[in-house]
Structure formats: C-alpha cells, structure tokens
Chain A
C-alpha cells in the first residue's frame, strides 16, 4: 500500500498523461494518435516547453518568473523587426538573444543584488517588456520574415535522417547504461538489480521505437523540437551532474545553510534569471519564425501561466528545493495534449480554459495530498 503510494507520487503525472492519451485516442477515433497529429503536438509544446526548462530552475530556487511571456513578445518583435530591416538570420537571432540577455540581467540584478522578491521584479518586467514590444512594433504586427528565417520554426529533418538520428540516440543511451555499470563495478559498488536494468531497457526501447515511428511516418523531426530536446537534455544534465545544479536544490531547500556552505547564492540566482530570459528569447525567435511575424499585443500572452502550470503539474514544489526538469516536460506535454485533444474534438477555447484550470487545481491537490501522507 505504502509502496504503491510512493509509485503513484513518482509516476502519477506520467500515468495521467498516458491515460489521457489513450482516452483522447479513443474518442477521436485514433486521429489523436496519428503521426501527423503527434508531430504537430510536439511542435506546439516546444514554445512553452523551452520556457518551462528555465522556469523549473527558477522555481527550484524558490523564486518565480512572471516575465517569460512578455520576454517572448519583445524578443519576437525584435527578431521580426530585424527581419523586416533585411538583416540575416544569424544576426537576427543574435540580436534577439542579446535583448533577452539584457532584460534577464535586469531581472537578475535587482533580485540578487537588492534581495527584492522575484515576484515583484518579474511582474515589473512583465509589464515593461510587453510595453517595449508594443513601442518597438508601434502597436502593429511586424512581418513578414524571410524564407530562411521561417525555416527555424518550420523546417523538419527529413524522415530517414530523423530515424537514423533517433537510432543514434538510442545507441548512446544504451551505451551509457553499460558504461555506468562498468564504472560502478570498477569502484566496487553494488550494481542495481539485473531485472530492474532489463525492465529499464525494455521500456526505453519501446519509447524510442514509438518516437521513431511518429517522426518517420510523417515529416521527420521538426527543427524546433530538436532545439527543445537539446535544451531539455542540457537542462537535465546540468541539474543532475554539475555543482550549479546541486546549488539550485540547496538554495531552494535552505538558503541560509547554502550561504554558509560556501555557495555564492546571489550569483546562482543571477545566472538562473539570465538563463530563463535567454530561453524566452529562443522561444520568441522560434515562435516568430513559425508565425512568420510578431504581433506585440498577443505574442506569448499568458505564456507565463501555462509555463508555471507545466512546472507545478510536473510536481516541482513552489516553495523550492524539489522537482525536476524531466517531470516538467511531462507536465508540459500533459497541458499540450489536453489543448490539442480538445481542439481536435472541437471544444471551444473558452471551455479549454476551464478544463486547464481544473487540471492545475487537481494537480496541486494531488501534490498536497501525497505530501501530507509522507
């Protein structure tokens, strides 16, 4: 009983995602599960997903970032303006990232240097950045962009190459498991049970096969999905394997103890807010490319809410110190899947809001309940 509770807590969100997927596949007569729809779904979630990687780090620190949606808007507008002005793709991307970095430095500076709560500073930035986007765009949509730029958010890696790429990743993953075992043996540690490892390999293989099937059967892996995957993997690696990642958890868990343990708390906070703003710029660039232009009033509107919802649904604690990017990604897919499925069924957007809100509430309740049992 207790063990099953643990498992439910650990995998609850994943199970929910699978159940919803199956449910949607049935009620849409299999349309949901088609490679075409799933490829679109993957493309749709990237914009929020990239933001959620950064915001997970912010929330792990016990902070919050409300400005990501507006940062998407302002960097998107900057990219669109650069395109209209005839700048090259590289320069466009560079300028948009630069704007993101500068605004992130602004956030990080106030929060770390003057110890002002991030809620207020990023609330300010949310308004500032939206205003800047409107000023820069003179209130109107900016576009169109060039064909080369549109490829960033629109192009795909050809199906065959995609399949090969996924196969290469599979081999790397498999190699990693065996390398880890060898290393552990060298150090003389007890190895995880053989049965467990085989289970892991079987499940992993199935997941890779599924992903390979989706992208091979339709149009290959969309470029933004590749970027999203790289960012996510980098984020997971940083959390698990670097001092910086450990520091995030430590600061979120106990800021004073972290300071006394020699961690430069202010620097870590500063870096996290800059990273998040940079990721917002990446998302802004991809979105502008995908939409072939930027509308300052609506680009990235309410994205901060979807992002925070993804992080929280993924089980990252708002008080900081526990959670993970890998779980956030599942949260992102959960929200994305719901939106996608409801659109497929023709449920009006206004009702989708209500359902999303209910899901957030339910996720928070579930989290609180499992915590209480502990």
Chain B
C-alpha cells in the first residue's frame, strides 16, 4: 500500500452534550481495499461514518477530511454522495412497494420531456445488476426479494451514483449464510474495480473472511490499524476492550433440576399461508438450571417457536404445553407472564423497548401489578428494585429516568433482561440475547445467564452464533424448516454437526 490514501480523516473531534464521542481520531483508507472497522458499541464507529457521509455537516466537528489529497467539507449527505461516498445502513433505505429500478433511481429519476424515462431506468439498472453478477429483474417489486437481494439492490443504488467509497454498517445482520457469500463475492469484485469498502461488523469471522486491513477504535480514538493477516481474534478483541478477555464464555457449575417445562407436538400456523405450519412437531422438556439452545438457519422457525410458546404469535398455535406438570394454554403475553414465562425479543428497538421512556419505566413495565397497591404504583419501592437491577447488571446510565434510546445496545439488552426478571419467571425465553451487543457486554450477559441458572431458572436460548450456542447451552435443539431435526448434547457436538442438521441433513438421512 504505497499509493497515497484515497481517504484520510485527520484529528477528528466530535462532541455531544456531555460526552466527547470522537477524540482526535485519525482514519485512513486506500483505493481498492476492504477495510474492517471494529470497536465496541459506543466506541465511535457510527459517529465517524456519519461525519464521513455528511450526516454531521462540516462545522459540527473539528478536524479535516481529505479525499484524494483535497480537503472536503460536506454540508449535507447529498454533497458526500456526489463526492462518491455511499453508506449502506443496517436498516435498508428502500421502498418495498416500488420496483428494483424505481428504488435505484429514487429521488433522481431520469426524465425525458418531463416524463419518467423508464427505458433508461431499466437499462441502467440492468447494467448495474450485471456488474454485480446478480440475477434480479429490474422490474421486480422490491418486497418480493429476500433481504439479501434487497441489500444487493442497495449496493447497486450506491454504485449508480459512482460511489468510490462504500460504507457497510453491519451488512450481514439479517442475511443467511448463503446470502453472506453472495455479498462477499460482490464486495470482492467491487474491490477489483477499485472501490474502497469500509466494512463495519461485530462478527470477527466476517472481518477475517473479507477484509484486507482492520482498524480498531476504542473510546473515540484509533487504537491500531494492521493488515488482517497479521491479526487474530484475540488480538482484535484485546484491542477493542483494552484488556484481554480470558474467558469469553464463563464456566458455570449448575445442577440440572426437575423438569419445569414440557412441550409436546407443538406447532404454529403460518401467518400468511393458510394450511401451512411454520413450526411443527416440536417435542422437548426443559429442566431447572438448564439452557436449551435453539440453533438453525434464518427462517427455520426458531423465533416463531418462542413467540408461539409465549402467546405472542399472531396466528394459531397448538400442542400440549406443561408447566411444572400442569397443562397450560397460553393465549397472550400477559397470561404467559403471570404463568411464569418471560421473553426477551430479538429486536430490542422494535419489539423490546419503549425507546423514549426512562430506564426505570422500561424495567418495571411487565411487573407493575406487583408494584401497585390498589392500582397505585409504589414509586419508592419501584425505584429501589430498579436501582438494584441497574447495580447488579452494571447498566451504564446517567439516571434511572434517562430515555433508553440514549443507551448502548448492551445496556439496552440488560434492561430487557431486567424487565423479564422483574416478573420472577420460571422459564426465560431468550431470542438472540447478544445480537448487536459488544464483546464486553456479551461476557456480562453470559455471566447474568449463569447466575440465573444457579438460582434455578430454566432458559431456552435462540442464537445464530454457533460458538455461543455450543458454549452456553446444555443441550441444543437444531431446527430446519419448522421441525426439530436433532437435539444434541452441547458437550459432544460441534459446529459441523449442527450445520449438518440445520441444513436438513438429518431429515434426508431419515427418508
């Protein structure tokens, strides 16, 4: 890399009320490389990228952005875009009801005599899609495509505006393994075409798989930058958290207790396709002090199983569920909670938290009945209990009333867990408990899980991370297309075996 860098961000300082988000950070990217940008939540990755893409205009930060040896001062995102900087957010910015071509040209439609030039639109779109080796029709309505292909459309959209620097913020969080492969292939071909990609991800495997160089930032400053091949996972994690994490998955010594939950022939109807089932023939029993991991590919029905058990799924469910030996029929989440079930959902922001309300209010939302006497909330008791949660789980927040939207992913997740525990559940259902959570907070969440098990709780944990599911579970139920293809002992299995069952291997063998 002797060529001059295509992009340099020099001595960037950015202050938010009360916090310095970026502290003299320097950041360099070269032409035609895939640069991994890693750091814990709140380290400043997003802020840095927002400055680069013009979300925070010139003047709201200190420092210089140098693009091709020239200083640039973006007043808005439009200027950044026309300078060749495109950002692809975690949440896609596309309109599902429009066609692929219409999405790609959104806001910049080609006109002829003041009328939409469809021919040009479709033509350019086809060229772009070909360049990405994608088999998508320009006229296809976006919502008919899978999430992976939608993301490709987003990339195509960025390329149309001649993006030279492509920022990808956690691009794989909603993708299946196969879709990730397609994405990586696309990124590699872009690299050959001279496009620089800045790849932000929590998944270190991906970082090692795709990037040429890695820059680690911590507390708003660059900790280090090195070619990927000179690094390993431990080194990166140590750089990210500023200390070495000895045991990612803390050990526990729990004794399996008696059966608390038994599920027989459980099924959940498909929400859109009448007559079909999205979860079928599920049988398992769950003991006190045990984690039953649930593994499987996207769309295998894992989340639907949890939601169904919790009475939260909109379509019909059936089968026999026994809680502590008693048959129960769960009709809605309220009833599930009073029976002793608790669910921490996968999507905290959309399904878990009331973002504009305070920490304390979010924690006690499910347990207000216990806090109230004659329909009046005992606010002091509430405060005492919630203060306890905040201290016990080390939730980093300014006050108990700080709106939870200002907190990091890990702290938000701890609030969701606190809310679940405030209801004093017997069975805890966790859906991707560490998604979007940084390494440090992950370990803390694992510790919390272990402590809960020691207290006699039983946990069902859905997780897409194979190392996590293997290390944290006692047994693992693997699901494929709505069925349980295997229940494995976590100690005796490995990633290959789980993938074998997750892709339906077991089923084919049986037939």
Contacts and interface: CB of A to CB of B under 8 A. Distances in A.
Whether A associates with B in a native complex is yes
Interface of A: 2, 183-184, 187, 189, 241-244, 246-247, 249-250, 253-254, 256-264, 321-322
A256 B350 contact: yes
B334 A241 contact: no
Contact of A254 (B353, B379, B419): B353
Nearest to B343: A260
Contacts of B352: 257, 260
Nearest to B419: A261
B333 A259 contact: yes
A43 to B, nearest CB: 32
Interface in B248-299: none
Given A189-B383, A243-B368, A250-B357, A257 B351 contact: yes
Given A187-B380, A246-B377, A260 B353 contact: no
Contacts, number: 84
B366 A262 contact: yes
A188 to B, nearest CB: 8
B372 A243 contact: yes
Interface in B333-360: 333-334, 336-338, 343, 345, 350-357
Contacts of B354: 249-250, 253-254, 257-258, 321
B113 interface: no
Contacts of A184: 380
A247 B377 CA distance: 12
B160 interface: no
B17 interface: yes
A307 B384 CA distance: 38
B365 to A, nearest CB: 5
Given A241-B379, A246-B361, A253-B354, 10 more contacts: A187-B380, A242-B376, A243-B368, A243-B369, A243-B377, A253-B355, A258-B354, A260-B351, A262-B366, A322-B356
Q: Binding site of A, secondary structure by majority: helix, strand, loop or mixed?
A: helix
A262 to B, nearest CB: 4
Given A250-B357, A256-B351, A261 B366 contact: yes
B384 A187 contact: yes
Contacts of A243: 368-369, 371-372, 375, 377
A242 B353 contact: no
Contacts of A2: 17
B365 A263 contact: yes
Interface in B372-397: 372, 375-377, 379-380, 383-384
Contacts of B375: 242-244
20 contacts: A2-B17, A184-B380, A241-B377, A242-B375, A243-B369, A243-B371, A246-B361, A246-B368, A247-B368, A250-B365, A254-B353, A254-B355, A256-B350, A258-B365, A260-B343, A261-B365, A261-B366, A262-B333, A262-B334, A262-B338
B334 A264 contact: yes
A361 B464 CA distance: 49
Contacts of A258: 354, 365
B332 interface: yes
A264 B311 CA distance: 12
A262 B364 CA distance: 11
Interface string B307-333: 000101000000000000000000011
A256 B352 CA distance: 8
Contacts of B368: 243, 246-247
Nearest to B358: A249
Given A246-B365, A250-B357, A253-B355, A260 B380 contact: no
A253 B352 CA distance: 11
Contacts of B334: 262-264
Interface in B386-423: 419, 423
A260 B312 contact: yes
Contacts of A322: 356
B434 to A, nearest CB: 19
Contacts of B371: 243
Contacts of B365: 246, 250, 258, 261, 263
Contact of A253 (B332, B357, B384): B357
A253 B358 CA distance: 11
Nearest 10 interchain pairs by C-beta: A243-B368, A253-B354, A262-B334, A262-B337, A261-B365, A261-B366, A262-B333, A187-B380, A254-B354, A262-B366
Given A243-B375, A246-B365, A258-B354, A189 B380 contact: yes
A234 to B, nearest CB: 12
A262 B356 contact: no
Nearest to A253: B354
A183 B378 CA distance: 11
A321 B356 contact: yes
Contacts of A260: 310, 312, 333, 343, 345, 351-352
Contacts of B376: 241-242
Q: Which of B355, B357, B419 has the most CB of A within 10 A?
A: B357
Contacts of A321: 354, 356-357
Contacts of B384: 187, 189
Contacts of B357: 249-250, 253, 321
A370 B375 CA distance: 35
A39 B354 CA distance: 41
A101 B375 CA distance: 22
B351 A183 contact: no
Q: Which of A184, A244, A261 has the most CB of B within 10 A?
A: A261
A256 B423 CA distance: 19
A55 B46 CA distance: 39
A346 B438 CA distance: 66
A209 B345 CA distance: 52
Nearest to A259: B333
A258 B312 CA distance: 11
B361 A249 contact: yes
B172 to A, nearest CB: 24
Nearest to B361: A246
A243 B378 CA distance: 10
B372 A242 contact: yes
A95 B366 CA distance: 38
Nearest to B348: A257
A339 to B, nearest CB: 33
Nearest to A321: B356
Contacts of B369: 243
Nearest to B378: A241
B336 A262 contact: yes
A3 to B, nearest CB: 9
Contacts of B310: 260
A258 B355 CA distance: 11
Given A2-B17, A253-B354, A321-B354, A264 B377 contact: no
Contacts of B355: 253-254
B505 to A, nearest CB: 34
Given A260-B345, A262-B333, A183 B380 contact: yes
A243 B379 CA distance: 11
Contacts of A241: 376-377, 379
Nearest to B332: A264
A256 B368 CA distance: 18
Nearest to B352: A257
Nearest to B367: A262
Interface string B424-453: 000000000000000000000000000000
